[in-house]
Amino acid sequence: MTTAKRRRRIAADEAHSWARNLRLRNIQAKILLSMLTLYVDAEGTCFVSIPSLAEDCELSPQTVRRRLAWLQEIGAISRHEQWIDEQGNRNGNGRGKRTTDKIRLLYDVDPYVIEARAAGRAAADDIDETVAGEDEISPTCQIGLNPEVSPAPGLRQPYHSGKGLISEPEPEDPPKSPSGGFPDDHETIEEGEPAEFASAFDGYVGHEVMRRDLALEEFRLLTQEDRSWCGDAVPLYMAKLRELKQRRPMNFHLWVRTRGFREFPAPGATAAKPAPPQRRLVQGDELKGLTVAMRIAERRELRTIRDQDLGEGVWTHLAPQADLVAMAAFAGGRDAWQVVDLGTPQFAAWRDRLAIWIGAEPQAERIFLEPFDPIVHGVSASNPNFRLRKSKQGFRVPSPWPPRRDGTWESAGESE
């Protein structure tokens, strides 16, 4: 196994252990967080699409989006928008075509902080999801007949007792054979069937083994505008499945019930293209602040260019950043700066902010805790006087916390 694969395996194991021990009081979020640990790299980040997570967790894409937002809100993950430029390079500066987010698992944050935030939102979220998710189908645990050994009932499942059971099950009607999308010889299509239904259902992959009556029932509940929207979205959805190499779409009646067609443009609507970001030259205090950020993140000076008309600076597509301007006050030097250790919340806050400023992932600095002594540090390891020089990993920064987005700093006695 190569070194890179070994590091990724170790990071995945650490992330999975961290996710397994978190008490989130939200089973769907716990499952989603556990699945994310299967995609992490050696740095604890992953790039995975919503459809892939939905298929892995057997949840709807809408549920996955809500649970990702919930995990980000309680501080378990962070998400950063990503783009692919013309050369195929991934970036966070808005260059090129939008792609999957970069998701970082924040397992260096104190787990008690995450669990406290999760506990504060668990009760309200359970009520909201019960009301908003009545029409959503996601797997839940099934209960057995013995309450002492069977798992507890899942959310919104009735609790059944084994008392009074009989050996013979109640008779039930035999299931209907698949219609193949067309009525049997002895059946007729009900009068008043929407005109858009037949083409939408017959164009849906796998409709041959799906219940046409359930699909028609859900389709009748749509407005006329949504019926047209659904019919136009079916071929787009099928093309997207082929692109993602997915063979098993959800049942048609569930797709209609969850309004999955609304993920595609409405009939006649043209997708509004966002205006390309304006390029500007970073100068003045903002340039000084960016120089300070480069010294912290990469321990080197910022490379600038000189424009014939505008002067010296750095080109960027980002909007002016007030927090970078606030960093200009520390352009003089960093001898008196303090150190934030790797694994602390302060380190995580500085790391994420530096990544936004410089557009790259910063690496922790090795900071020596004792001066170099050639007698014990400069000799061979086989020498009996040899001793390792004490050091630690972290960032040397001017303040425990980075400036806020509006450029203000944390006041004395205030915790972030």
Q: Is the pTM of this model over 0.85?
A: no
Write down the pLDDT at residue 67. Answer: 94
Give residue 146's identity as a one-letter amino acid code.
Answer: N
Write down the pLDDT at residue 250. Answer: 84
Write down the pLDDT at residue 334. Answer: 77
Examine the pLDDT at 169 and tell me if it is beyond 70.
no
* pLDDT confidence bin for 131, thresholds 50/70/90: very low
Q: Rounded CA gap, 364 and 360, in Å?
A: 13
pLDDT 10s digits, 290-342:
999 998 998 888 899 898 888 899 888 888 999 999 999 888 877 788 899 99
Token duo for residue 39: 């995609």
Contact 263, 274 (CB under 8 A): no
The residues spanned by each domain of the chain are: 3-132, 197-263, 280-397
Fold of 3-132: Arc Repressor Mutant, subunit A (1.10.10)
* pLDDT confidence bin for 415, thresholds 50/70/90: low
Instruction: Extract long-range pairs of 296-299: CB within 8 Å, 24+ residues apart.
Output: 296/334, 296/350, 296/354, 296/362, 296/395, 296/396, 296/397, 297/354, 297/357, 297/358, 297/360, 297/362, 297/363, 297/395, 298/358, 298/360, 298/362, 298/363, 299/365
pLDDT 10s digits, 5-22:
777 788 888 888 888 999
Examine the pLDDT at 357 and tell me if it is beyond 50.
yes
* pLDDT confidence bin for 116, thresholds 50/70/90: confident
Write down the pLDDT at residue 95. Answer: 85
Q: Rounded CA gap, 315 and 281, in Å?
A: 4
pLDDT 10s digits, 177-209:
454 444 444 344 445 688 889 999 998 988 888
Cβ contacts of 125 within 8 Å, gap of 6 or more: 26, 70
End-to-end CA distance of the chain: 42
DSSP per-residue letters across 365-408 = EEEESS---TTTTSS-TTSTT--PPPEEEEEEESSSSPPPTTS-
Contact 363, 342 (CB under 8 A): no
Token duo for residue 173: 């009607």
pLDDT 10s digits, 298-311:
888 889 989 888 88
Write down the pLDDT at residue 402. Answer: 93
Beta strands per DSSP E along 95-135: 97-105
Write down the pLDDT at residue 4. Answer: 75
Rounded to the nearest 10°, the torsion over CA 346, 351, 356, 359 is 170
Examine the pLDDT at 134 and tell me if it is beyond 80.
no
Average pLDDT, stretch 73-101?
Answer: 88
Examine the pLDDT at 238 and tell me if it is beyond 50.
yes
Q: Rounded CA gap, 202 and 198, in Å?
A: 6
State percent of the chain over pLDDT 90: 29
State percent of the chain over pLDDT 70: 79
pLDDT 10s digits, 42-70:
888 999 999 999 999 999 999 999 999 99
Rounded to 10°, the helix 61-73/111-132 angle is 140
Q: Could you give the strand order of the β-sheet that contains 45-46, starting from the edge strand earlier in sequence?
A: 45-46, 97-105, 77-84, 90-91
Write down the pLDDT at residue 412. Answer: 54
Mean pLDDT of the chain: 80
